[in-house]
Structure 1
Amino acid sequence: MQHRYYWLLKWVAVLTTLGMLLILLGGALVTKTDSGLGCGRNWPDCNGSLIPKEITTEVLIEFSHRFVTGAVSILVLILVIWTWRALKHVKEVKFLGFLAIFFLVLQALIGAAQVLWGQGDFILALHFGISLISFAAVMLLAMIVFEVDQKFDAVRVDIQKKLKWHTIGVTLYSYIVVYTGALVRHTGSSLTCTSWPFCDNSDPFKLPAKMYEWVHMGHRFAAFLIFVWILYIMVHAMKHYKEQKVVYWGWIIAFILVSLQVIAGAFIIYTHLNLIVSLLHSLFISLLFGLLCYFILLVARSSYNEKNH
């Protein structure tokens, strides 16, 4: 690839990744502001017209989310086709491109189905997770674009069996954490427990009494486990992978993100669902999930290197 076009591809990769983040945060904003029916039971039009005639806050939020999703979808398509053509020698590119497009379309269809017919809370909770997979695939494509000039050792990693299994396990488990968090939002359980870290700090050992309390505290417990798990993995990586900077620093960044996620979760309670804090909560888990998926890519490369040496 010519140098000038390679830099252009880098810019497209960055813009597409940021765009996918906007889709995720826009979806969270729609949910948190109850703007899902801002355009009524109409899709893809908004209240009977392509451009809404009457602008309310709910209409603006919902229509903006749809517009951004449509615009970023074009960027995703450009990035996927470009990487398929320019980086076809990188074996992960075609699979990641397929994942990005498939799950982007799937999340759009689920969003449309919610508008047209409505969905249950447990189905709606999947919407964020499906969008997250598409974001992670785009983020990994962007990472591969930046790997081409080989300024860091992401291609030549050597990850041992213990870290491999922990990486796979914590990544799969992170999806459970994401789902429980989305379930808290969609069931309206965010302020069922008004204390932190326990549902009732005056009686820490009191079991939840209602379904919504179980949903809320289930997510807190799941978040606590992933915090401890990533802390353990970070310590292990710092002890045994000092020479592999992408692994060493990657797990340090993962721990910083999970720590910010926990802090944001606590401040959601303290600030009584402050919108900015809530969106930061969604941002941190999105970045963490994308990073964990990148670790899965590194694990796959390490296994491939072992088989071919």
Structure 2
Amino acid sequence: MKKHATLRFLSIVTALVSYFMLLMGAIVTKTGSGKGCGNSWPICKGELIPESMPLESIIEYSHRIISSGAGMLILALTIWSWIVYRDNFRVKLFGIMSVFFVLLQGALGALTVMFEGPFIKKFMLALHFGFSLISFASVMLLVIQLYRLRDGKPDKSSGTPLSRGFGWSVWGLATYTYIAVYSGALVRHMEATMGCGYEFPSCGITKFPGFGSAAEIHMLHRYAGILLFVLTLCLLIVVLRKYRDNRDFVQGSWIAMILITLQAIAGIITVKTGGVLMAALLHTTIITIYFTAISYLCMLAGAPWKKRS
């Protein structure tokens, strides 16, 4: 139906704007533009259109405008999806998650602008990115679900049924991915991107991760990334051995493996180029898509904590 096609078009637009919102947040952090509008929020420097607009103010205010637009689109998409697919649980779930987390990340963004405590502020900035990531993934899952409904696909993937233990493993990987993402956000907000200089895989005399120095924080993220790569590879191997006929899961696992490999390469490029903006944005983009891919696998796996008939 035409109204359903329009709804799916809106979902694509919402996903794109949500991505730009997340990307602009990364640009704000990378360029140090978080104070571009002073301590006022949501307006800039106490004015709707400030007289003085240096580059950092333009970057910060653009982020706020895009975030506001994304929030309104997400709300509109959620309401419309609920009306059209009022009986579909996943449509309702992904919609409410999208709205909840975009509001939560917006509230944290406001707090970081008005709060002055250095360490707590950086911690809240890391949370801000993490919640933006969940919001984006929720929007993408809603988009996917809308298209699956169009194609008449069942809520669960076809093929060999997934064991309950494997389902827990997939959800465990998603949880660990989210933790690893926070280690990357910590590197960014603690200005530890070049904590090891231009060295890779070594880090001078620093061998172990920790929180005592920029090098230790950087190594914490490296170890987290290595483990994430290994876990993703293990997931792919298990899927290819036990669930090869489960087409959706095989495709999703391959996509996740390719993305985590590209993410590792982007991390190396970031170090070797001295943390230039484009490399950092590439790193952010790939991990965002990777987390969405793992979230998609969780959607296919269903809830392993529920008893199966």
Q: Same fold per TM (> 0.5)? A: yes
| Runs of 4+ more than 6 Å apart | 301-304
Q: Is the 8 A contact 1:156 1:302 kept in 2?
A: no
Residue 198 in structure 1 maps to residue 194 in structure 2 = no
Show the 5 A alignment for 1:122-133: 122-133=123-134
Q: Is the 8 A contact 2:86 2:92 kept in 1?
A: yes
Show the 5 A alignment for 1:231-242: 231-242=233-244
Letter in structure 1 aligned against 2:141: L
Shift of 1:23: 1.1
Letter in structure 2 aligned against 1:112: A
Taking the aligned partners of 1:60 and 1:135, their CA distance within structure 2 comes to 23
Residue 166 in structure 1 maps to residue 169 in structure 2 = yes
Shift of 1:111: 0.7
Taking the aligned partners of 2:21 and 2:46, their CA distance within structure 1 comes to 23
Taking the aligned partners of 1:295 and 1:91, their CA distance within structure 2 comes to 17
Taking the aligned partners of 2:48 and 2:116, their CA distance within structure 1 comes to 21
Partner of 2:109: 111
SS in structure 2 of the partner of residue 148 of structure 1: helix
Partner of 2:189: 186
Greater displacement, 205-214 / 45-54: 205-214
Taking the aligned partners of 1:129 and 1:244, their CA distance within structure 2 comes to 30
Q: Which of 277, 281, 284 is matched with 2:283 structurally?
A: 281
Partner of 2:269: 267
Q: Is the 8 A contact 1:155 1:301 kept in 2?
A: no
SS in structure 2 of the partner of residue 54 of structure 1: coil
Taking the aligned partners of 2:154 and 2:241, their CA distance within structure 1 comes to 18
Shift of 1:151: 6.1
Taking the aligned partners of 2:2 and 2:167, their CA distance within structure 1 comes to 37
The change in CA–CA distance for 1:266 and 1:127 in structure 2 (over 3 A counts) is same
Shift of 1:153: 6.0
Taking the aligned partners of 2:209 and 2:3, their CA distance within structure 1 comes to 57
> CA offsets per residue over residues 171-213 of structure 1, 9 Å max, x none?
000011110000001111110102112213xx6x844695222
Shift of 1:301: 6.5
Shift of 1:258: 0.7
Partner of 2:70: 72
TM-score when normalising by structure 1: 0.92
Partner of 2:228: 226
Q: Is the 8 A contact 1:153 1:245 kept in 2?
A: no
Residue 258 in structure 1 maps to residue 260 in structure 2 = yes
Taking the aligned partners of 2:295 and 2:51, their CA distance within structure 1 comes to 42
Taking the aligned partners of 1:109 and 1:214, their CA distance within structure 2 comes to 30
Letter in structure 1 aligned against 2:15: T
SS in structure 1 of the partner of residue 302 of structure 2: helix
> CA offsets per residue over residues 207-234 of structure 1, 9 Å max, x none?
4695222111000000000001101111
Taking the aligned partners of 2:153 and 2:174, their CA distance within structure 1 comes to 23
Shift of 1:155: 3.1
Shift of 1:240: 2.3
Residue 87 in structure 1 maps to residue 85 in structure 2 = yes
Letter in structure 2 aligned against 1:300: G
Shift of 1:247: 0.3
Structure 1 runs not aligned, ≥5 long:
none
Letter in structure 1 aligned against 2:166: L
Partner of 1:98: 96
Aligned residue pairs, count: 302
SS in structure 1 of the partner of residue 150 of structure 2: coil
Show the 5 A alignment for 1:199-214: 199-200=203-204, 206-207=207-208, 210-214=212-216
Taking the aligned partners of 2:296 and 2:112, their CA distance within structure 1 comes to 31
Partner of 1:41: 39
Structure 2 runs not aligned, ≥5 long:
none
TM-score when normalising by structure 2: 0.92
Shift of 1:152: 5.4
The change in CA–CA distance for 1:39 and 1:239 in structure 2 (over 3 A counts) is same
Partner of 2:218: 216
Taking the aligned partners of 1:47 and 1:278, their CA distance within structure 2 comes to 28
Taking the aligned partners of 2:301 and 2:292, their CA distance within structure 1 comes to 14
Percentage of matched positions with identical amino acids? 36
CA RMSD of aligned residues (A): 1.9
